[in-house]
Amino acid sequence: MIITRILKETSYFEFSELINKYKSKIKVSPHAYFRLSETQRKVYKDDSLIRILSEDKPIFVGIQQNGNYAAFFSKKQGYMRLIFKVTEEHIEIITFYITDHIPDI
């Protein structure tokens, strides 16, 4: 069973409302950087990830089987899949990576 499989798409309107509700309460988990090289760690910092999530428009947003959200942002080298969870207090960016496709649902 793959718990990161996307079960359903979320509309941009729903995503936007969620981000606006927690805009000042977005944090980044230390786990978000575990896949990165030292060079990549210099490029992607907490503030850049928070900016991407809160200011860029995703081309697709879905809810994974584990209840976390996966937002896909278009990048030069493919798509950034940014995975985050929502709690009553904040949004936490769990991890992210570059992929070459957007999943089919």
pLDDT, tens only, 67-87: 999 999 999 889 999 999 999
Q: With 60 as the cut, is the pLDDT of residue 1 above it?
A: no
> Nearest-CA neighbor of 83 among 68, 73, 98?
68
Structure confidence at residue 27 (pLDDT): 96
Cα(85)–Cα(71) distance, integer angstroms: 11
What are the pLDDT digits (tens) for 12-70? 999 999 999 999 999 999 888 877 777 777 778 899 999 999 999 999 999 999 999 99
pLDDT score for 42: 77
Long-range contact set of residues 72-78: C-beta below 8 Å, sequence gap at least 24: 72/99, 72/102
The CATH architecture annotation of domain 6-99 reads 2-Layer Sandwich (3.30)
* pTM over the 0.85 mark: yes
Residues 6+ apart with CB under 8 A from 48: none
